[in-house]
Amino acid sequence: MSQQDWHLISSYAGILILATFSVYAGSFGSLKAPRSAKGKKDSGDDDSEQEDEEVPERVTTSEALLFPILGSITLFGLYLIVKFLGVEWINWLLGWYFAFVGIISVWKCSISIAVTLLGKGYWRSFKIRKLELPKFIDPKGTSVVSMRTPSIVLLFPSLIPSILYSYQTGPKKSALITDILALSFAHNSLSLIKLDRFQTGIILLSGLFLYDIWWVFGTEVMVTVGTSLDAPIKILWPKSYLFSIERGFTMLGLGDIVVPGLFISLALRFDLNNSAHKTPNKPFIKPYFISAIIAYVVGLSTTIVVMSVFKAAQPALLYLSPACILSFLITAYSRNELNVAWEWDDNDAKPAEEKEPVKDICDLDSNESVVLAEADPLDEEYIVRNRLHLN
């Protein structure tokens, strides 16, 4: 193979690793059951466990059916703007919007990384700070945000990527800054947006499978918009094993990370519930998640190979959607769980008042498996106050 081939292979490998890691990390981030979505706290809870967290957004079957329609309207609207009004002002507008949203997104990712590195036990040892919102946000001054001291400190370095992104000049933004913002968007999307059932996931993947085929093969719309907009809605990797930017970049849209990632994270949550129900005293096994991650790697690798052979842009969901769906069906059938998995509902979506509070939870060491005491084995609420054996 020529040196040019090795440059491309290294670029494709970089994109593949970056995308897979993003899906993997985001899936585990979705295991968190936000405290604000819960009912009454245990009477033994103290101030150290009362940090504010966000309530996840649920995607239902009816909403999944609308995704291709709404996506098509948005995509075609952007195409018309690019074709007839030019890309300069829309890139300027999107740049400032994503820079602002990126501050919050990078901040939340920084907190997640800090919690992972320090451990939940040590993280909870930090003091909770209660901050009043500014008057222009809450004129009455009645709203209070609770967060730990490191969370406040991490806000300041989280400003840096957005500041650098906003004030960069030239036709193109820095690939590194774009990747930092894009990966933070992907991680937060997977952590906070949850499919309610596998049926919903299959409908979503199937609908966007057709959406991708039409807009890539049927028209020039997808390619035109994707290559014209300079916004952190894609990940980039240099087409050089020396990371030289003169050769250009390989890119992958965030949709090809987030959409399959939503399905894969649902598989991980099903594994968690399955493990808690069937083998509560054993390590947390993840057959659906592992098969889905493998399917994602195979699907994305197939996209890259086909693109290289035919020298043309390929809709990644053309390969990722069937791969993820088949991984679920094959795993469920081989484990004689097809009916159970098909009817399973990620019941964390229930309102707080419908859920019974957890009565007692064992305090586990990090090398122990999950043990459930006097709690519904299909209720994810118990994971919040335990450190899971995730290996």
H or E, element range at 266: helix 255-278
Q: Which backbone phi and psi does 16 adopt, to 5 degrees? A: -60, -45
Q: Is 252 helix (H, G, I), strand (E, B) or coil?
A: strand
Rounded Cα distance between 378 and 362, Å, is 17
Q: Which is catalytic among the residues 179, 212, 348, 379?
A: 212
Cβ neighbours, 10 Å, residue 312:
11
* Whether residue 256 lies in the annotated active site: yes
Q: Is 371 exposed, middle or buried (CB count within 10 Å of its CB: 0-12, 13-18, 19+)?
A: middle
Cα distance between residue 355 and residue 367, in whole Å? 29
Angle between helices 287-310 and 317-334 (to 10 degrees): 150
Residue 169, Cβ neighbours under 10 Å: how many?
A: 5
220-to-91, 104, 252, 278, 353 alpha-carbon distances in Å: 19, 34, 17, 50, 50
- Out of 179, 196, 230, 256, which one is annotated catalytic? 256
CA distances from residue 384 to 121, 272, 363 in whole angstroms, order as listed:
12, 13, 11
User: Taking a C-beta distance cutoff of 8 angstroms, is the pair 183, 237 a contact?
Assistant: no
Q: Is 230 a catalytic residue?
A: no
Distance CA(281)–CA(388), nearest Å, equals 12
User: Whole-angstrom Cα distance, residue 379 to residue 295?
Assistant: 28
Give catalytic residues, as residue numbers: 212, 256
